[in-house]
A and B are shown apart, each in its own frame.
Chain A
Amino acid sequence: MIKRIERDRRRFEDIVRGRIKKDLKHHLTRGELIGRRGKELVSIPVPRIDIPRFRYGTRDTGGVGQGPGDIGTPIGGHGHPGASGAGGAGDEPGEHLREVEISIDELADIMGEALELPRIEPKGAESLQSIRSRYAGIKRAGPSSLRSFRRTYKEALKRELASGTYNPRRPVVVPVRDDMRYRSWREEPKPIANAAIIYMMDVSGSMGDEQKEIVRIESFWIDTWIRKHYDGLETRYIIHDAAAREVDRETFYSTRESGGTRISTAYALAAQIAERDYPPEEWNLYFFHFSDGDNWGGGDDEKCFRLLNERLLPIANLFGYGQVESRYGSGQFFNALEENVHADNLVLSRISGRDAILDSIKDFLGKGK
């Protein structure tokens, strides 16, 4: 049975979630959340949830206090007086935002609800079988269909022997409720499919700090969401300007280089990593590429199309291309992809600024791949 307080607590948490959902954009695009992991709690300021009443504001009433100090001395901390109970002189609650602690996972759930993201369906039929049940013991409660006659009878017999009501000459054993025994089962999780995300980012001179921050935030939430659906998640990072190289996470977000842009180098490297480390029959592969859409001419676009069509799209669950708007980029690549590459698992998204991050996440993950 659920404890009554649990029910009320859940109701309250639902309300909090509702509040967070309302202002989701603001909460999710706060940079300081980045780097947190699943169960880790973060506090989020939520506007007052208490029930409104006609009452005076503390500022206008002031109050009575006790202690040393001359007139004009600030009285300091205007916090709650603790759990001493409600009402009475001078303990009006302060007027502040309520900090709500919530885990990143929950936040991702809320995001999922708000954006109506479908659950990701890992590819391959076998990977769906993730839990196996086995009969593995005896319990005192259960459905009648699982009642174990032998054990129930044994219990009843034991009880009758112990209480002295057993009559060997007339061996009638009648089980009562306490004697009932039922078979019970255990659920054994089977290893489920793994996923890998390969992020690629254009770090050419035209990608500024703000653009990188957008990429950071967006990839963080994509990461969190995909992680929720797979047991193990590996992430790889590739940066590229005129040439591509694999880097660690720190470098990925912090590097700024100048120079030209050759997107095909990144795609080639990604394909190489994927083919070497993540055989597609065992892995769910995700590629995300962020750029300002300014690619070097001279046939590099065509190289990209070829790489996508031949090597990346066939093995990917999803290939996401996010084009971050920047003052310097021409944004040509988006149109080029749109016209030349057609595939179900290729998703293109324009990110005009921080406010567009959520919509872009919706673009990418809205397909449930």
Chain B
Amino acid sequence: MPHALTPELRALQEQIEEHARAYGLDFFEIVYEVLDWEEINEVAAYGGYPARYPHWRFGMEYIELSRSYAYGLSKIYEMVINNDPTYAYLLAANHRVDQKLVMAHVCGHGDFFKHNFSFAHTNRKMVDEMANHATRVRRYMELHGVDEVERFLDRCLSIDNLIDYNAPHIKRRPSDEEDEFPSAEPKKLRAKEYMDEYINPAPVLEAERRRLEEARRREERFPSRPERDVMLFLLEHAPLRNWERDVLGIVREEAYYFAPQGRTKIMNEGWASYWHSKIMTEKMLEPSELIDYADHHSGTMAPYPGRLNPYKLGLELWRDIEERWDKGRHGPEWEACDDFEARKRWDTGDMKGREKIFEVRRHYNDVTFIDEFLTPEFVRRHGLFTYDYDPASKQYVISARDFAAVKERLLFSLTNFGQPVIEVADANHLNRGELVLLHRYEGVPLKVDLALETLENVHALWKRPVHLETWLDDEPVVLSYDGTEHRTEPRSE
């Protein structure tokens, strides 16, 4: 059972939030719940949401969390969910200094959720929405059997990364007006006969004719434009029963809700860490708590052996940006200067850092954040490197340390949330109602065994043969599944 805050924690919360607001952070009301470790593992298994639909993967998550807790691998929990009010959890057994740290950290997340553009479209009442989802799924389970509904959920989850991560921000589908059935002949502007060739010049007419031609051809295809949101396409066109359609919709809605968190991991964790460190060291820390605080802070920031810690990377980038804008280390003059000593001493006294980071936290996501603010100095100072699998020694080895390589690799792992771009290219393949998915190949092949299994799941939804056009070993191939067997055939690009 969740417990309300003790008066002591309540007082801490008020104090911390006051400091946070004084720094300029702005968040929805934060509601804390204090849980013991079993409860917090349970809540964590559900991703922080008190009511989720039943599914075995939450059980799996729970077992893993409990085990890693029992083995002492993870201890301080900071769990906060994007909602209004923002919910966050405290572990009852934690020391006072940890509670402070977590609360300060949560203020940072709360501010980020409220103001970063990526979250602007998310449902701020998602806790309630998810409870509704849970009720609906549970009802379907009662009606159609747990096994059947769970199997269907597995299939939906199997494609829950095939959504259009940018969909909330841009318009992909043309409005009806643009898409009206194209006429055969381009419209001419009215003109007197002798002016006609000037007002309606032949090249323009020709181009217009071609455009209409293309539009007509598109009209004959289905879908008329490649569809990035595979889930939506299946939702609209796959032969599903009503409850199945609803469940697919639920999974898709949750996938869209969670997407921004994946797309702002580095920024968001960095931002929260920046603020917990600021609030703790400047305002809230008592002398006796210093050692514990330093221990736990550095524990969170420690890079895993050889890999990247989003908390650490984010925090350092935020600090770097603040310093650069405080000292005016940006813009053409700074870029042009290659005198090492001058750069080292560079300080225009701008003091625009704080202002800048608040601006950045509103308008960027991880991709644009890294793209714009990762500098060669930063990469060198923090010892970033890229690693690759070395087949000879059968292990991962450091492959490069130069700025361009690191940045490119980082961006690759972040673009489209590190997921391959796969779209519906044709849903009436060979006029037989077969589905063709197209993988936009970027030089990295899909993991084949998983791809085959996933294809089976897509087939289960589409109920007709499905094909995936992709690349294996640098050869274009098409993987097909017709419900009984898999085929892999070469194709011409």
Which residues of A come within 8 Å of B, CB atoms? 3-5, 7-15, 49-78, 81-92
How many Å lie between the Cα of A7 and that of B46 in the bound state? 13
B388 close to chain A: CB less than 8 A: yes
Tell me how many residues of B have a C-beta within 8 Å of chain A: 83
A89 with B414: in contact, given A51-B157, A66-B303, A74-B393 (CB under 8 Å)? yes
Q: Evaluate whether A62 and B310 lie within 8 angstroms (CB atoms) in the complex, with A57-B445, A83-B73 already known.
A: no
Q: Looking across the interface, which residue of chain B has its beta carbon closest to that of A69?
A: B398
Interface membership of chain B positions 152-185, coded 1 if the CB is closer than 8 angstroms to chain A and 0 otherwise: 0010011111100000000000000000000000
What are the residues of chain A within 8 A of B468 when measuring CB–CB?
54
5 tightest A-B CB contacts, nearest first:
A75-B306, A88-B265, A8-B59, A12-B59, A9-B59
Supply 10 A–B pairs (Cβ within 8 Å), ascending by A.
Answer: A52-B454, A54-B439, A66-B312, A70-B398, A71-B397, A75-B398, A81-B304, A83-B65, A83-B68, A87-B265
Task: Give the residue of B159, B266, B397 whose beta carbon is less than 8 angstroms from that of A89.
Answer: B266
Q: 14 new A-B pairs (CB below 8 Å) besides A11-B146, A51-B154? A: A8-B58, A12-B59, A55-B161, A55-B447, A56-B445, A63-B409, A65-B385, A66-B303, A70-B398, A71-B398, A73-B397, A77-B305, A88-B266, A91-B308
- Residue on B nearest A98 in the bound complex, by CB: B60
Residues of chain B from 251 to 296 with CB closer than 8 A to chain A in the complex: 261-262, 265-266, 269
A residues in contact with B56, CB < 8 Å: 8, 11-12, 14-15
Say yes or no: is B309 at the interface (Cβ < 8 Å to chain A): yes
Question: Are A78 and B396 neighbours in the complex by a CB distance under 8 Å?
Answer: yes
**B54 to A: closest C-beta gap in Å:** 6
* B216-259 interface bits toward A, Cβ cutoff 8 Å, 1 = contact, 0 = none: 00000000000000000000000000000000000000000000
A107 to B308, CA, bound (A): 39
Q: Is B433 an interface residue (CB 8 A)?
A: no
Complex Cα distance, B412 from A62, in Å, reads 10
Q: Which of B74, B162, B386 is A64 in contact with, Cβ under 8 Å?
A: B386
What sequence of 0s and 1s flags, for each residue 124-166 of chain B, a beta carbon within 8 Å of any chain A beta carbon?
0000000000000000000000100010001001111110000
Min CB gap A315→B, angstroms = 46
Q: With A8-B54, A56-B446, A87-B265 in contact, do A74 and B396 touch (Cβ < 8 Å)?
A: yes
Cβ–Cβ < 8 Å partners of A73 in chain B: 397-398
Tell me if B399 is interfacial: C-beta within 8 Å of chain A.
Answer: yes
- A-B contacts counted at CB < 8 A amount to 219
A66-B384 CB under 8 A given contacts A5-B59, A71-B399: yes
B88 interface hit (Cβ, 8 Å): no
Residues of B within 8 A of A64 (CB): 308, 384-387, 406, 409-410, 413
Q: Taking CB as reference atom, which chain B residue is nearest A11?
A: B56
Provide the residues of chain B in CB contact with A63, threshold 8 Å: 307-308, 386-387, 409, 413
Given A65-B385, A66-B309, is A82 in contact with B413 using a C-beta cutoff of 8 Å? Answer: no
Counting chain B CB atoms within 10 Å of each CB, which of A14, A15, A88 scores highest?
Answer: A88
Report the minimum CB–CB distance from B150 to chain A (whole Å): 7
CB pair A77 B399 closer than 8 Å: no
Q: Whole-angstrom distance from the CB of B415 to the nearest CB of chain A? A: 11
